[in-house]
Structure 1
């Protein structure tokens, strides 16, 4: 039923636009907040090394599967999954997998937008601080229900405004502006932090691996999970962006570019955050507990770094604005891909206009976020845990099993040979179908098992 519109389906206008949009979808708080925190908790350089291996071994082959499913189906996740097979029972199962996959971005967006709202409030707080508006600053940096509600709604409005513009005019246009801004801001912050005392020590801790820790089971599982979430495998964003990719493009190469940009952002985030932590320690901010574990790992970005910025006077405040702007950009490039998933489904199924669809669906998910804001203590951690520890890995496992076992091998290879005719001749092309069938599901199952354990 959706096939009639695949020929006039909107596609990304340029390769760079696609890579930056897809990398933007992957680059979120997981890279800038999660990755440095994980690295700091798991032995710095050793974690970085294992993480880079895991990205290539686990995340990249699965990214190719998810993007290929989207491009083959040229539709939303539910209809793309259905299009992989002609067997009626398998079609039903595929649609179910698509729906489970679609629940991931909706559930993630519900809590993610609250964090996005905090970032906006911290940024505004840094601005009012420079202007000497003390009461406004206290309000923006405080943790009241009203402030959280304000931030969340502003974040939703920004997300919807970009998504309603469509693929080229909305997502691609803004991703090609926001992503380079992210790199420039990071570069400036890095140069600035490296001039502070204590920064070199942090950099050493981050870049020089302690090889004794490399084979630690906990570290390997943490790196595998982080690599997995870093590329939002199982989050549907890559499937939906894949469906907007022209058949002429070399899909494995595009997936590799997305992987490289995403990994670069995580790596650079570590370059900024780890030295910043050591600078903060020099200034008397306590970061590690007696046993060497991180204090307040989940609030690192909201406690440690603002304290460091505060201790650096006016320049620190200016950098504080830059830093929270950076995080807001990273959060937005992800939230637009999350909202795009349900918007494309409703638009394709019911032929609705993009603008109103974006506002209505954004509004429905926002209502759920408001419920979380009002019941923060009970719900926030729970929703975040269900979405990221259970729903997303399970969706990824199902995509993997479906892509590996249900989707016919020849059809898979044919899809990848479009835009990459020599695909099945190369080593990757020979290994990939078998790898996706046996190795990937096993690795994903391990991540799920570790999160239960």
Structure 2
């Protein structure tokens, strides 16, 4: 058996794992959830739950991954204690791989929109008005072309492997993402109206914390870490045994929560600044506009108000969004690619092409039936499937995997882990509390 690739450094892993967690949902989902769920009260609750829910679940995936050094299906089968749990491992593993592929199928469409607006800012710099109009008008041809470009970019990185592809580009793209975000934050905070947004974002009203807000924050903390579909499990399988998993997991959680916080620091004040320039920033119900409407309707008003500087600001912002999309998509593609490369005779290049074509086909099918399938696929994967998959991974670690084997797996890289608070709390926490918390979020989402 050929030696398995590994991340060449802890920094490379942290950048790749944080890149997986930091995506479009993180940069526009977190700020708009914040706006619609009590502002700073939501931020505070989210930060607490990022460590109470996301971190323990992240640790479950990383530990399974490094222990198994394999794809999601093989990893979960390896924890089985008998034929029933073996079949359960197969079911959960294959379903996780399918869900990862479905997520990437709709994600590539949205990321294509970001690329279109990025190119539109370039065409406007050169005065190519007609090209700019085509790029910003919703249509099948535009959506198909930009989605295809994005899938090809994702495949081009993944085909290079872990060190030369995923790690290399994550360590380049993530610092660029942070620099762009910081520059935009500084600019936005200097504008009229930003103070009102800052107050909403930074001054919590504890009275607004209620069960609904807690469940929303719980869901955001879980989804923003790309948990449940095996991305962190597969990344964990590429970690060296000398690395301390509890420390690496805590670092990834801190980086992810920090970037989500920065995204809110950019978007919430930017909405209020855009409102100063005549943008309609509230819905009829009085909530701030969320989702695609925020990105494609509110912020362009802000960029237009900035004159010639606005073209560069729009370019920087949509470049930021495109980078966030790409760092997430390469991790999602790795889940099915690792399965095909390890379970068949296909090379990594062949596996990437096979999976890439499959995802392209599903994404094209979604585009051809956009009104019926787009929202359905999003709900099926992120609302219903991810929480249940995450809960199953916690159950595998807490109830199926033998406790002594679990301890031995964590001791690699952290010999004295048995004496730490992590070992005293985490096993019972992931066994009892995490499944209950995730199930609560799932039941709430059904309502």
TM-score normalised to structure 1 length: 0.97
* Match of residue 194 from structure 1: 189
* Match of residue 180 from structure 1: 175
Of 114, 119, 125, the residue aligned with 1:130 is: 125
Q: Deviations over 1:76-109 (max 9, x none)?
A: 0000001113423322211211112112211100
Tell me, yes or no, if structure 1 residue 301 matches structure 2 residue 295: yes
Aligned-residue Cα RMSD (Å) equals: 1.1
* Match of residue 246 from structure 1: 240
Q: 1:47-446 to 2 correspondence within 5 Å? A: 47-214=42-209, 216-446=210-440
Post-superposition offset of 1:360: 1.8
Post-superposition offset of 1:73: 0.7
Q: 1:439 to 1:157 in 2, by over 3 A?
A: same
Per the alignment, in what secondary structure is the counterpart of residue 36 of structure 1? Answer: helix
Q: 1:128 to 1:99 in 2, by over 3 A?
A: same
Post-superposition offset of 1:218: 1.4
Q: Deviations over 1:100-132 (max 9, x none)?
A: 211221110010000010000000011101111
Post-superposition offset of 1:356: 2.2
Post-superposition offset of 1:390: 0.9
In 1, distance between residues paired with 2:288 and 2:195?
Answer: 19
In 2, distance between residues paired with 1:86 and 1:446?
Answer: 28
In 1, distance between residues paired with 2:381 and 2:285?
Answer: 30
Per the alignment, in what secondary structure is the counterpart of residue 39 of structure 1? Answer: helix
Per the alignment, in what secondary structure is the counterpart of residue 415 of structure 1? Answer: helix
Q: Deviations over 1:407-430 (max 9, x none)?
A: 111111111111011212111211
In 1, distance between residues paired with 2:283 and 2:102?
Answer: 33
Per the alignment, in what secondary structure is the counterpart of residue 105 of structure 2? Answer: helix
In 1, distance between residues paired with 2:18 and 2:280?
Answer: 34
Kindly indicate whether the alpha-carbon contact (under 8 Å) linking 1:120 and 1:151 is maintained by their aligned counterparts in 2: yes
Post-superposition offset of 1:351: 3.2
Gaps of 5+ in 1: none
Q: 1:30 to 1:76 in 2, by over 3 A?
A: same
How many residue pairs align between the two structures? 447
Kindly indicate whether the alpha-carbon contact (under 8 Å) linking 2:28 and 2:291 is maintained by their aligned counterparts in 1: no
Per the alignment, in what secondary structure is the counterpart of residue 5 of structure 2? Answer: coil
Of 291-300 and 351-360, the range deviating more from structure 2: 291-300
In 1, distance between residues paired with 2:87 and 2:275?
Answer: 56
Post-superposition offset of 1:299: 2.3
In 2, distance between residues paired with 1:165 and 1:290?
Answer: 49
Kindly indicate whether the alpha-carbon contact (under 8 Å) linking 1:104 and 1:236 is maintained by their aligned counterparts in 2: no
TM-score normalised to structure 2 length: 0.98
In 2, distance between residues paired with 1:63 and 1:164?
Answer: 25
In 1, distance between residues paired with 2:183 and 2:148?
Answer: 30
* Match of residue 21 from structure 1: 16
